[in-house]
Structure 1
Amino acid sequence: MNHIYTDLAVESREIYSKGKDIEVEGVAVKVEEQENYTITLVEVLNDEGSKKIGKPIGKYITLHSPNLDNADEDLKDEMSLVLGKEFKGLIKDYKADKVLIIGLGNWDISSDSLGPKVIERVLVTRQYFINFNKEFDESMANVAAVSPGVMGTTGIETFDIVKGIVEKIKPDIVIAVDALSSRKMDRISTTIQLSNIGINPGSGIGNKRKGLTEKTLGVPVFAIGIPTVVNAATMVNDTMDLIIDSMKQTEGVGREFYNLLDDLSKEDKYSLIDEVLSPFMGNVIVTPKDIDVIIEDLSIIIANGLNIAVHPGIDLKDVNRYIR
């Protein structure tokens, strides 16, 4: 499992259970299906569950909408409201008068620019609290936001930048927004993950960076992300599944071969494809061709949802009027 990169807890559980709908000890799952979207709560309850699916103890909420990557205005508004409601529920037990929002990623690379794009649209208010010497407001939270870039362009580790800001402005909570990696093509740009355990930038594609967590920063850290990339082996694996499903219906010798492939577990088949591709393609990352447009739309949904969640007096009408 270690070589199959994914940032999604729901996929980590699927990997452990090998795609079967079975209980995983130490992991609780709750699914709510609506007309346009599905909400899945994966809660890692203890060390046993954490060890089995490879995710820290905490809550992971997945919002999946098949049309999210090509959403009309109504679906954007609906998903903004859903995200706002779910995120508000995630932070309800925490003091959140002072909020720091971090847009992780590289603004020069489309598939990695989700974080910076969201920062452009969040409602920043800290300057007003400073100018008017206010500690609290009933309708607005004290929000600061920054996109620290990546070490390749700044020469500074993201963690060091964020840690310095946290020590200076002392927020109650930190919210990190980042592009993620998935192991399923149909989850690219159609899934939003919320969590209360922080984030490890680049972990989904195998990069090692110091995590932004409550342990490392000293304040609660929440994360919001959308998968925008898969690796080449995932794409080939999904294509092979479609071919196998089609060819199993044919008659003759070939049918036995495709039935044999179908009997392989998903992880064994993935491992075989990864081994075959590695000498020729290495760890190639794939993203949709229209990712620029997709990121623009998704950043609106996340920013609107965040604005609704953290500001008590803000609703969808306000964000649509002033933020877009």
Structure 2
Amino acid sequence: MAEQVRCDLALEAKELYSETAEKADEVGGISVDEYSIENIIKVTRVKILNEEGEENLGKPKGDYITIEMPSRFYGEQKIYEKMCQVCAEELKSLTDKFITKDDDVILVVGLGNQNITADALGPKVISSLMITRHLKEYVPDEIQNGVRSICGIVPGVLGLTGIETGEIIRGLVDRIKPKLVIAIDALCSRKMERVNTTIQISDTGITPGEGVGNKRKGLNIDTLGTPVIAIGVPTVVDAATIAGDTLDMLVNAASQGKAGVLKDLPTRQTLKLIGEMADEKYELIKEVIKPKFGSFIVAPKDVDTIIDDISSVVANGINIAVNDGITLKDVDRYR
């Protein structure tokens, strides 16, 4: 896999490797399982099995679950409820490996800068979370059976606090000794169609700031001494990806005779050649854009509404997954 191309999603790393591999359907060291729900929601489970899989996809060994939802589910209550349910079920398949008792403490970390909407996913999830650790301690009789001890933190970013996020979280972990850490952050996609329509859940931890090329110290079992489940949503895309996807759409339109501006045969042949360049195309576009405009990270114009909605899906997925017997109707009681 070409290391230059940013692939926060394991699914995209697998797709990119397949595009450049001699045998596109065979990626060594991984297993892939897919299913869809009512032809609306698609779930893909990528499991990196060994060192070969780590080398091929450029990601640590573990489970990566990708949930793809309709781009226009916002305002559709039934789809929203189904998204919360699917997110909860897939998350539970990972959390059950680490949480075994009702009194197990879970620390949820909302990464990102709450002053920048496209990077505010983590903080917004925390604001919609069932925070119960204090209730379990002070009014235990008021808590229904199955509700676990959950606490949350929005550590901010290095530029605002002057403290590495990893340092803050490590201090909290040492103090409260959670059984599990769940970290939420915004990611960057290499495909426009996945922006704000995809949730990735993994049990390998996360590197804050990686989605926008500003990597900090990773949050994982090695750095914290506690298992870390990461939940990420690609909320932005870089300009080179937009340009590359646009070229692909032009090639496709020209091949179908739909692009009237591309009647000239040499132009169509040039676009086709560029379209076949895969990851080299991405680097070529970056070479052209960066000297004049620098690095552009782009978010949709309605990002405010979208982040509110998708953060609610993630928060309720966590609420339902880690608390036995809790439904969407019960959530408001604890918020």
- Normalising by the smaller structure, the TM-score range is over 0.9
Which of residues 286, 300, 310 in structure 1 aligns to 2:322?
A: 310
Whether contact under 8 Å (1:177, 1:223) holds in the other structure is yes
Q: By how many angstroms is 1:265 displaced? A: 2.6
Q: Is the 8 A contact 1:180 1:228 kept in 2?
A: yes
Aligned to 1:228: 235
Give the TM-score normalised by structure 2: 0.91
Residue 12 to residue 47, structure 1, CA distance change in 2 (3 Å)? same
Contact between 2:196 and 2:306, CA under 8 Å: does it hold in 1? Answer: yes
Q: Match for 2:189: what amino acid?
A: S
Q: Verify: 1:243 aligned to 2:250, yes or no.
A: yes
* 1:274 aligns to 2:286 (yes or no): yes
1:271, distance to aligned residue in structure 2 (A): 1.9
The CA distance in 2 between the partners of 1:266 and 1:69, in whole Å, is: 30
- Bigger shift: residues 11-20 or 274-283: 11-20
**Deviation of the 1:133 alpha carbon:** 7.2
Q: Does the C-alpha gap of structure 1 residues 184 and 323 become closer, same or farther in structure 2, counting only changes over 3 Å?
A: farther
Q: 1:287 aligns with which of 290, 299, 303?
A: 299
One-letter amino acid of the structure 1 residue matched with residue 307 of structure 2: I
Match of 1:15 in 2: 16
Is the 1:100–1:175 Cα contact (8 Å) retained in structure 2?
Answer: yes
2:182 aligned counterpart, secondary structure:
strand
Could you tell which deviates more after superposition, 25-34 or 245-254? 245-254
Distance in 2 separating the partners of 1:256 and 1:139: 62
Q: Which amino acid aligns with 1:118?
A: V
Indicate conservation of the 8 Å contact 2:191/2:241, yes or no: yes
SS at match of 2:305: helix
Q: Note the residue ranges of structure 1 that are not aligned, 5 or more in a row.
A: none
Q: What TM-score does the superposition give when structure 1 sets the normalisation length?
A: 0.94
Q: Which residue of 2 aligns with 1:125?
A: 132
User: 2:134 aligns to what SS in structure 1?
Assistant: helix
Measure, in 2, the Cα distance between the counterparts of 1:165 and 1:69: 36
1:144-223 → structure 2 map (5 Å cutoff):
144-223=151-230
Greater mean deviation of Cα atoms: 211-220 or 201-210: 201-210
Question: Counterpart of 1:65?
Answer: 69
Partners of 1:69 and 1:189 within 8 A in 2: no
Count of residues paired in the alignment: 321
- 2:273 aligned partner: 260
Amino acid across the alignment from 1:293: T
Give how far 1:10 is off.
0.5
Residue 166 of structure 1, CA deviation: 0.5
Percent sequence identity is 45
Kindly provide the CA deviation profile for residues 111-149 of structure 1, in whole angstroms up to 9, marking residues without a partner as x: 000000000010011112222579x97321011111111
Amino acid corresponding to residue 270 of structure 1 in structure 2: Y
Q: Are 2:49 and 1:45 equivalent residues in the alignment?
A: yes
Structure-1 separation of matches of 2:187 and 2:249: 25
SS in 2 for 1:60: strand
Q: Is the 8 A contact 1:5 1:205 kept in 2?
A: no
Report if the CA contact (8 A) 2:186-2:211 is conserved.
no
Shift of 1:68: 5.3
User: Is structure 2 residue 79 aligned with structure 1 residue 79?
Assistant: no
Cα distance in 1, alignment partners of residues 73 and 282 from structure 2:
25
SS at the partner of 1:177? Answer: strand
State the shift of 1:66 in Å: 2.5
Question: How many Å apart are 1:203 and its aligned residue?
Answer: 1.5
CA RMSD of aligned residues (A): 1.9
Which of 11, 31, 34 is the aligned partner of 1:31?
A: 34
2:95 to 91, 98, 106: 91
Deviation at 1:280, TM superposition (A): 1.5
Between 15-24 and 86-95, the greater mean CA deviation after superposition: 15-24
Contact between 1:87 and 1:194, CA under 8 Å: does it hold in 2?
Answer: yes
In structure 2, distance between residues paired with 1:224 and 1:294: 17
- Report the Cα distance in structure 2 between the residues aligned to 1:192 and 1:248, rounded to whole angstroms: 33
Contact 1:231–1:283 at 8 Å: present in 2 too? yes
Contact map agreement 1:26 1:46 (CA 8 A) in 2: yes
Q: Give CA deviations for 1:54-73 in whole Å, capped at 9, x if unaligned.
A: 00000000000123563522
User: d(CA) in 2 for partners of 1:67 and 1:252?
Assistant: 34
User: Structure 2: where are the runs of 5+ without partners?
Assistant: 258-262
Give the superposition deviation at 1:93: 1.8
Q: Is the 2:109–2:183 contact (alpha carbons within 8 Å) kept by the matching residues of 1?
A: yes
Is contact 1:33–1:39 with CA below 8 Å preserved after alignment?
A: yes
